[in-house]
Amino acid sequence: MSYSRIVIYGAPGSGKTFLAIKLSSILSIPKYSIDDYFWKKGWQVSSKQELKDKILPIINKESWILDGNYSIIRPYALEKAELAIIMKIPTVQCIWNIFIRTLFRNLKIKRKEITPLPKEIEERDVGLKNFFPAFFILSKMSIKFNRKKFKEIYQEVRKAKSVKIIIVKSKKEFNKVIENLQLKKDL
């Protein structure tokens, strides 16, 4: 079976967006990062209603890959999703990934492995002065996800009808997911 509606959950630094980009390319399915719709210019945030108004039309499309942990969106996404991938990458690895990503973004070093900033955030909104606050906040969120949020999300996904669940715990499993979904597409 090939999947056309995929949700990806995970801690900051777990590789959600990177996986979404890879799968979008392999499966020829559009990728939507909820961060792109949550964040406005100057790091201003959308209200819950604004976010729903932006994301629900996407969820009603025929195919999509959606990455992000926004609880206000989760029930709607799971209602339509066929596959949920939950990234359960070790906290130390997530924090290392956050460190590298935040450092490169704030030093404005371009690398294809570094996920882009949310669409509405401009390059001028980054810089070394933002490195430590961003690193600290994202690391704290990553720790919280792996200690608490993973269980909550997993339970919510399990309750969803007809959603296959894949839990990714390592880089090796990450690569295996990509390989397996590529094979299913080619069948």
Please name each of the domains of the chain with its CATH number.
5-186 (3.40.50.300)
Residues paired with residue 33 on neighbouring β-strands, in sequence order: 67
Residues paired with residue 8 on neighbouring β-strands, in sequence order: 67, 85
User: Distance (Å, rounded) from C-alpha 119 to C-alpha 110?
Assistant: 16
Q: From first to last of its 187 residues, what are the pLDDT tens digits of the chain?
A: 689 999 999 999 999 999 999 999 999 999 999 999 998 877 788 999 999 999 999 999 999 999 998 999 999 999 999 999 999 999 999 999 999 888 887 776 676 666 666 665 555 556 666 778 888 888 999 999 999 999 999 999 999 988 999 999 998 999 998 888 877 666 5
pTM recorded for the entire structure:
0.89
Per DSSP, which regions of the chain are E strands? Answer: 5-10, 31-33, 39-40, 44-45, 64-67, 83-87, 164-168
- The residues, ordered by sequence, that sit 6+ positions from 177 with a Cβ below 8 Å of its Cβ are 19, 85, 166, 168
Count of CB atoms within 10 A of residue 156's CB? 15
CB hemisphere CA count around 68 (13 angstroms): 23
